[in-house]
């Protein structure tokens, strides 16, 4: 009689499964040991050790079971062909020493395999919820999101913290949706650019609320924005805003965060991109009203309960405008303000189209050098290092905001916070959404901020503060 240990691999399918299990388990242990002793590698090594190999191990177990079933099926079929009774199932007789040894070995190997699979599975889940996996393993499609996330104030917050959050329900949902995204990546059918907003995103209160409380009163915040002119001196000016963030305090709601107060409920009807709002429903103590806009909603308009991301839609994935990015680089010294017309020329090269980010960096750097060599040869000779740094900074700016492979341009992902990159606040606060009693959603900018100074060289309000 065939020994039970060898009967497991008599069928070719079972043999293949056994090879898969043994090889995958061995490689998982070896790679895990390498990662444990400090050989960090990159995302590919983690993906192999904690995602692909556990899948191979699981497939091997499935093949083992299928092979045993096929072997049993073949034996029953052969017996029927001979007119004999089906062969009996194996009998485990613990009185036999060989059986006890075989069973003990099987339990030890099975337990070891289960331990390896479970350990790799836990590590795999943690890795698949990391920013590295989301932005690099799927780098061809998530490169814009990964690049912008790294520059955001939420750079140290993982993708899963916001896109999944705590709890089993949303964990399972995320894995189901992630499988669909994986298929899109493998089949190269991912939409380009990735459409926003994300309509199956978890309510912001359940994820943003892990760190940000809607009960917190923030009050007023002083905002100073520096802009540079397109003249030869790149003349700086400052705009000073007193931003009324507000919140709820002592039963009184004020400022922009009035919208997020626990006692306020707002629903709105908008197009799928949420750039045009057709109707707003307000439910707050002492007031329940519906405000209708002038335009009729399209058939695909959708109702949504307003939450944090309706204004803070780029909180973790900011994309700037060319003007804002150049101003920021001039303000923090990445671009030398003494270079004549550098802001004007910077905007010119940033707003051009390039086929790839590599070619953009090269072309932008060459364009800046050529401009000064032709127009200001003395500057080109005396400040060549500053010119090269400016070209590099402009190349970095373009590459951080424009991604030709994903059809992402300067205006693909506008920021709704405020009203500079998009209508933002004015989607509702346009003085055109009216209730039945004639009340309108105000367009009074003073509700959210007070303009202290605008484009002034030396604002009086800042004296003594700098």
Give the residues across from 243 on adjacent strands.
221, 449
Report the pLDDT value the prediction gives residue 192, as an integer from 0 to 100. Answer: 92
Residues with Cβ within 8 Å of 364's Cβ and at least 6 positions away in sequence, in order, are: 349, 350, 354, 391, 394, 395, 398
Mean pLDDT, consecutive 10-residue stretches, the chain (466 aa), reads 53 88 90 76 79 90 89 84 80 82 84 85 81 75 89 91 88 84 84 90 87 85 94 96 87 85 91 95 91 95 94 94 96 97 97 96 97 96 96 97 95 92 93 94 88 91 76
**CA 288 from centroid of its chain's CA atoms:** 36
At residue 2, the pLDDT reads 46
Token duo for residue 34: 């390498």
Helix (H), strand (E), coil (C) string for the chain: CCCHHHHCCCCHHHHHHHHHHHHHHHHHHHHHHHHHCCCCCCHHHHHHHHHHHHHHHHHHHHHHHHHHHHHHHHHHHHHHHHCCCCCCCCCCCCCCHHHHHHHHHHHHHHHHHHHHHHHHHHHHHHHHCCHHHHHHHCHHHHHHHHHHHHCCCCCCCCHHHHHCCCCHHHHHHHHHHHHHHHHHHHHCCCCCCCCCCCCCCCCHHHHHHHCCCCCCCCEEEEEEEEEECCCCCCCEEEEEEEEEEEEEECCEEECHHHHHCCCCEEEEEECCCCCCEEEEEEEECCEEEEEECCCCCCCCCEEEECCHHHCCCCCCCCCCCHHHHHHHHHHCCCCCCCCCCHHHHHHHHHCCCCCCHHHHHHHHHHHHHHHHHHHCHHHHHHCHHHHHHHHHHHHHHHHHHCEHHHCECCCCCCCCCCCCCCCHHHHCCCCCCECCCCCECCCCHHHCEEEEEEEECCCHHHCCCC
Residues in CB range of 177: below 8 A, 6 or more apart = 200
The verdict on whether omega for the bond into residue 291 sits within 30 degrees of 0, i.e. cis, is no
Q: What are the strands of the beta sheet with 302-305, ordered from one edge?
A: 287-292, 277-284, 265-270, 302-305
Using CA atoms of 459, 463, 465, 466 in order, give the dihedral in degrees to the nearest 10.
Answer: 80
Q: Which of 74, 71, 72, 76 is nearest to 86 (CA)?
A: 76
**95: phi then psi, degrees, rounded to nearest 5:** -75, -20
| Both structure tokens of 284 | 């707050």
- Backbone dihedral region for residue 57 (phi beyond 0: left; psi -120 to 50: alpha; all else: beta): alpha
Residue 392 region, left (φ>0) first, then alpha (ψ -120 to 50), else beta? alpha
pTM: 0.80
Give the per-residue pLDDT at 1. Answer: 43
How far is the CA of 351 from the CAs of 360, 406, 411, in angstroms?
11, 17, 11
The Cβ-side half-sphere exposure at 273, using a 13 Å CA radius, reads 13
Main-chain dihedrals φ then ψ at residue 399, nearest 5 degrees: -70, -20
Give Rg (Cα) of the chain. Answer: 31
pLDDT at 201: 86
CA distance 68 to 156: 49
């Amino acid at each position: 009689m065939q020994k039970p240990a060898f009967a497991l691999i008599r069928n070719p399918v079972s043999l293949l499964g056994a090879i898969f299990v043994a090889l995958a388990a061995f490689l998982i242990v070896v790679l895990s040991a390498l990662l444990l002793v400090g050989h960090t590698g990159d995302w590919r090594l983690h993906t192999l050790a904690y995602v692909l190999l556990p899948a191979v191990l699981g497939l091997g177990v499935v093949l083992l079971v299928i092979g045993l079933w096929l072997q049993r099926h073949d034996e029953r079929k052969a017996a029927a062909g001979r007119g004999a009774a089906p062969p009996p199932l194996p009998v485990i007789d613990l009185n036999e020493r060989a059986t006890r040894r075989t069973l003990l070995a099987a339990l030890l190997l099975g337990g070891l395999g289960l331990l390896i699979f479970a350990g790799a599975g836990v590590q795999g889940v943690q890795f698949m919820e990391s920013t590295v996996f989301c932005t690099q393993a799927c780098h061809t499609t998530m490169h814009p999101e990964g690049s912008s996330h790294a520059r955001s104030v939420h750079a140290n917050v993982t993708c899963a913290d916001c896109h999944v959050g705590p709890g089993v329900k949303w964990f399972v949902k995320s894995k189901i949706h992630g499988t669909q995204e994986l298929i899109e990546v493998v089949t190269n059918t991912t939409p380009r650019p990735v459409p926003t907003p994300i309509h199956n995103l978890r309510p912001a209160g359940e994820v943003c609320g892990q760190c940000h409380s809607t009960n917190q009163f923030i009050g007023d915040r002083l905002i100073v924005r520096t802009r540079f002119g397109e003249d030869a001196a790149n003349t700086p000016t400052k705009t000073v805003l007193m931003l009324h963030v507000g919140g709820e305090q002592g039963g009184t709601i004020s400022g922009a965060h009035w919208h997020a107060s626990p006692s306020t409920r707002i629903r709105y009807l908008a197009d799928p991109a949420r750039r045009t709002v057709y109707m707003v429903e307000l439910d707050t103590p002492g007031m329940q009203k519906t405000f209708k806009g002038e335009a009729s909603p399209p058939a695909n308009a959708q109702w949504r309960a307003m939450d944090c991301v309706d204004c803070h839609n780029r909180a973790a994935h900011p994309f700037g405008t060319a003007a804002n990015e150049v101003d920021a680089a001039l303000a923090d010294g990445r671009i030398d303000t003494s270079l004549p017309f550098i802001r004007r020329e910077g905007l010119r090269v940033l707003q051009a189209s390039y086929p790839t980010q590599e070619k953009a960096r090269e072309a932008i750097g060459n364009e800046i050098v050529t401009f000064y060599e032709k127009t200001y040869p003395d500057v080109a000779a005396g400040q060549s290092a500053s010119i090269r740094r400016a070209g590099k900074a402009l190349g970095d700016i373009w590459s951080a905001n424009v991604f030709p492979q994903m059809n992402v341009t300067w205006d693909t992902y506008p920021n709704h916070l405020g009203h500079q990159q998009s209508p933002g606040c004015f989607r509702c606060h346009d003085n055109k959404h009216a209730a039945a009693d004639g009340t309108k959603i105000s367009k009074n900018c003073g509700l959210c901020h007070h303009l202290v100074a605008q484009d002034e060289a030396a604002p009086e309000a800042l004296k003594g503060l700098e």
